[in-house]
Every structure is written in structure tokens, then in C-alpha cells.
Homo-oligomer: A and B are copies of this chain.
């Protein structure tokens, strides 16, 4: 039984962590924090947790004590805040899984450029937390920079093609669509119910912060620099991401190997379900689960491949991925607490 704490438990990712960890037979949640709701019970903020979690929210100011009490600390804070926590826990044996962006970048200059924040923990020993790609590194990592939601859906869709050099590396376009929980719990006019309902829009075109994350991993996999177009959209629904990825096929004569590339990379992955050529993932087919469903379409006319991937942004795109990483790092069975049937319809 390991002791775990959640720093920033009142955001949607924090709440989802609580839901998943409730099912975990080898993890015990010992501390939860919130700066805006310190002293309240978590079920006052989230009544769906009533009778399930009866815990007080503490303050980050006690972080050293919290760290000392915990085998693992999950951080679910806005970017720029995890670095300070990471530094304060540096000397402890406590391991960290950060759901934000602070520990995702190999090159902190890229982080500073895209996030307009100075990185204050540049030498942190860290790995990128996407199990299907960096599993071995995750096992022993001190700090795991959990992959972002759009990033997870997009990288998993493109990784086999990039690793096997089946597509032109400068031809990649990712058109992604997310449910509104991805925009967080903070109030915003554009996410006010009457305005987003029966509405659809793009945002942050050519400047969304998940862009360099996707580029970093795809470049790593292909051993050549990959630059992509990434366009996020907001779908009037609560959960789910569908990523539609376009790329030019290098050699149409070997387009048939695309299937083999997906099978080779994901054939044994518990949380990736391959729907095959011509398939259609739907976000509701993965809702509430840690699955990433993937299918691809080859367009002979344009010599492009279109890959579709679907995840639940709060599970495989955040808290589920974090628990998957936790299981790997702790030496547990990887699917512990994650073997859940999607909630449909």
C-alpha cells in the first residue's frame, strides 16, 4: 500500500484522480490540497464525492510535510506552479507525477518560449509521461511529466507512422476537437453554458501550447525535426477528444505497411484499441475509460493518410494516464484501477 497525495485536487483532473484512485487497491490518498478552498471538505466542492471521500483540503504551504508523508505526489496545478513543488521535494524520496506542462520539455527554452514563464527547475530529473512510448524510462523516474490531453491523442495517432518513416515529416496537420472539460473548471464567458451550447469554434490557431509537445515526441521518434500544424476546437460536450491527423504518405507502394506499423507498436498495448483501416473512433466509445481508439484511412487520390484517434481527455488525457504512469513507476500491474468499461450511452 503506497501513500499518495494530490496537489490541486479541485480542478477536473484532480477530481478524476480521486475517482480513479478510489478503485486502486494499492494506493491510499493521504493529502489533498487546494489554495482557493483550503479547509473545506472535498465533497462540498464536488458533491458527487459525498460519502466516498470525506477529506479536508489542505494548503500547499505544508508541501514539505505532505511530501514527507507520501510515496507519490500527483500535481494538478496550472503550469508554472509545479516547478516550485518539485524543487521543494527534491531531497525527499517522494516521486512526482505532474499533470501540467512544467516537466514535459527536454529543452526548457521551448517551454519558456511557448508558456511565457521562466523555468526554475531546469535540471530536474524527469521523463515524458506517455507510457506507450517511454515506459522503460518511467519505471525509475523521479519526476514524470505526464503527457497533455491533445498531445496524447495526437502522438499516439502518429507515432507508428513517424517511427517507421512512412510519412513526410513536414506534411503533418493535426485538427483536434475537445470537450469543454479540457478547458478546466475556471469560469470564462466563452464556456458559459448558453454561449457554448449548440455552438462550435476553433481557438488558439497556430499557437496552442500542445504543439511543441507533439513536435518534441514525434521528432524524438523519427530522429528528424518534425514541425506540425495543430488546431484545437471546442465541441459542445463535456468529455472527449477526437484528433484528425493528416500526412503525406512517402511511398504509396508501401502504404500497405501502415497497418503493420500500428500492429507492431500497439499490438500488445492494453489501452490502445486499433479499429483498423477504414474505422471510425467515437469519443463516447472511450468515455470514462483509459482507452485510446485509433483508425486510419488511406486516400489514394491525394496520397495522404488520415489517422483518427479518440480518448477521454480527463482519463487517458490526464488522470488515467497519471495512474498508468504511477502503476509503472510503482511496479504495479499497469492496468490497476484502470480496467473500466467506457460509460455508454
CB of B201 within 8 A of CB of A242, answer yes
**Partner pick for A283 among B199, B287, B289, CB 8 A cutoff:** B199
**Partner pick for A193 among B229, B236, B299, B310, CB 8 A cutoff:** B236
Contact residues in B for A23 (Cβ distance below 8 Å): 341
Select from chain B the residue with minimum beta-carbon distance to A299: B206
CB of A341 within 8 A of CB of B49, answer yes
Q: Which of A79-87, A93-101, A158-166, A175-183 contacts B (4 or more CB under 8 A)?
A: A175-183
Q: How far is the CA of A189 from the CA of B51 in the complex (A)?
A: 22
Q: How far is the CA of A195 from the CA of B188 in the complex (A)?
A: 13
Q: How far is the CA of A285 from the CA of B23 in the complex (A)?
A: 18
**Partner pick for A200 among B18, B22, B283, CB 8 A cutoff:** B283
Q: Which of A124-132, A301-309, A322-330 contacts B (4 or more CB under 8 A)?
A: A301-309
A197 within 8 A of B: yes
Select from chain B the residue with minimum beta-carbon distance to A301: B227
Q: How far is the CA of A240 from the CA of B234 in the complex (A)?
A: 14
Q: Chain copies in the assembly? A: 4
Within A1-42, which residues are at the interface with B (CB < 8 Å)? 12, 15, 18-19, 22-23
Contact residues in B for A177 (Cβ distance below 8 Å): 177, 200, 233
Q: How far is the CB of A183 from chain B (nearest CB, A)?
A: 8
CB of A297 within 8 A of CB of B233, answer no
Q: How far is the CA of A203 from the CA of B228 in the complex (A)?
A: 24
Q: How far is the CA of A49 from the CA of B291 in the complex (A)?
A: 11
- Contact count band on A: 35 or more
**Partner pick for A191 among B173, B193, B306, CB 8 A cutoff:** B193
CB of A205 within 8 A of CB of B285, answer no
CB of B202 within 8 A of CB of A242, answer yes
Q: How far is the CA of A170 from the CA of B283 in the complex (A)?
A: 31
CB of B48 within 8 A of CB of A341, answer yes
Contact residues in B for A51 (Cβ distance below 8 Å): 273
A89 within 8 A of B: no
Q: How far is the CA of A51 from the CA of B213 in the complex (A)?
A: 30
Q: How far is the CA of A267 from the CA of B344 in the complex (A)?
A: 31
Within A199-244, which residues are at the interface with B (CB < 8 Å)? 199-203, 205-206, 227-229, 231, 233, 235-240, 242, 244
CB of A199 within 8 A of CB of B341, answer no
Q: How far is the CB of A312 from chain B (nearest CB, A)?
A: 9
CB of B283 within 8 A of CB of A205, answer no
Q: A179-B200, A233-B244 are in contact. List 9 more A-B contacts (CB 8 A).
A: A48-B289, A52-B341, A173-B246, A175-B175, A187-B187, A187-B188, A191-B192, A198-B283, A236-B237
- Contacts A/B (CB < 8 Å), 29 sampled: A47-B285, A48-B286, A173-B304, A175-B175, A175-B246, A177-B177, A177-B233, A179-B200, A185-B189, A187-B187, A187-B188, A191-B192, A194-B238, A197-B198, A198-B237, A198-B238, A198-B239, A199-B284, A200-B242, A201-B281, A202-B244, A202-B308, A205-B306, A205-B308, A206-B301, A206-B302, A231-B246, A236-B236, A238-B345
